[in-house]
Each structure stands twice: as structure tokens, then as C-alpha cells.
Amino acid sequence: MRRKRKRPTILVVGASHSDGALPFAGVQIANRAHRNRRKAAVVSSCTQGTARVFFLHSSGETLGEEELPIVKRSIMRSSVILLLQHAAVGVALQAAAIAKTHNVNVMIDPDPMLALPEKIKRAADQLLQAKQQRRATVKKWKKDVSNKKEQGVYGLLLLNRFN
């Protein structure tokens, strides 16, 4: 039985509220019940093509104490963090430090002149290509092991592989 592959999750740091709030081509905004909030949300989400995208909105130079648990949870769930050119330095440093503790990759804005949807699409494509290459090498190694078992040199293969 084939399992459905998990979508890569990208956290975008430094997008303005207008970039994150306005739907653009190929994006579905998550339908959620409206809540009475006194302040704007710290993290908003949407789906673009093959990726799930979270936008980190911060009004200050650094993240406040009440924002940190929300941001940590979002970073732990993400596959990669995309730092844009307009991100505040303090917020970018805090996000990168949290990502380092949770082994999440951080990408700095690869091309500042591209539109935000294109940047997200390129980051998602890079993630999917890396996963496919990793999966292909594992399949190849399993195939080699099964062929070598039939020939009786399975132990030698393992010794050479781990030395």
C-alpha cells in the first residue's frame, strides 16, 4: 500500500503583510474560523502547489516572549526556512538559531528580484529533488544488497560499506 507523500513545509521570514495575506496564482488560503483577536497573527499559512507555506509576521526588531513558542513550533514543523531580504536582522538571527537547534535548513533569499510565489516554488522544487535523490540511492543500495545476497558476498559488501 502506497502512502501519501508528505508535502514540504516552508517558513517564510520577512514577507510583508500584503505578500502573505493576498492570495496569488496557485495559492489556496486555509479556511479557518474567524476568531476575535486583539492583535494580528504571528504566523499565517497557505498552500502553494506542492508545498505548505507559513509566513512569519513580526512587527518589531526581535521576537517577543509571547511570540517565541508559536515561532518555535512553526520552525520545528517546517522543512526549510526562507529568509527574505526584508526580514529584520534580529528576527532572522532568532529564527536561524531556533532552526539550528532543530536541524532545519535555512535558505537566504536566492534572487531578490523574483516574485514571492516563484521563490517559494523554487525552494519547494529543491526540497523535492533532494528527497527523490535520497530515495533513489536507498533503492539502489537495497537492490545491490539483494543481488549480492544471491552471490554469497553479502558480508563483504557490508564490511566494505561501513569501513
**Long-range pairs for 89-93 at CB < 8 Å and ≥24 separation?**
89/61, 90/60, 90/61, 90/62, 90/63, 91/13, 91/14, 91/56, 91/58, 91/60, 91/61, 91/62, 91/63, 92/13, 92/14
Class of domain 9-135: alpha beta
pLDDT of residue 21: 41
The radius of gyration computed from the CA coordinates of the chain, to the nearest angstrom, equals: 20
Name the grid cell of 124: 519547494
Q: Which pLDDT score is estimated for 40?
A: 53
Instruction: Give me the phi and psi of 48, to 5 degrees please.
Output: -130, 110
pLDDT tens track for 46-72: 777 778 888 888 777 888 888 888 889
Domain extent listing, the chain: 9-135
Question: Pick from 71, 101, 66: which is nearest to 87 by CA?
Answer: 71
Q: What is the pLDDT of residues 84-111, one digit of tens each?
A: 888 888 989 999 999 999 999 898 887 8
Question: For residue 108, which of 8, 7, 13 has the smallest C-alpha distance?
Answer: 13
* pLDDT at position 136 over 50: yes
Strand partners, 27: 48
Per-residue pLDDT band at 25 (split at 50, 70, 90): very low
Supply the pTM of this predicted model: 0.64
pLDDT band at 2 (very low <50, low <70, confident <90, very high): low
Residue carrying C-alpha cell 497573527 = 41
The pLDDT > 70 percentage for the chain reads 63
Three-state DSSP at 125 gives helix
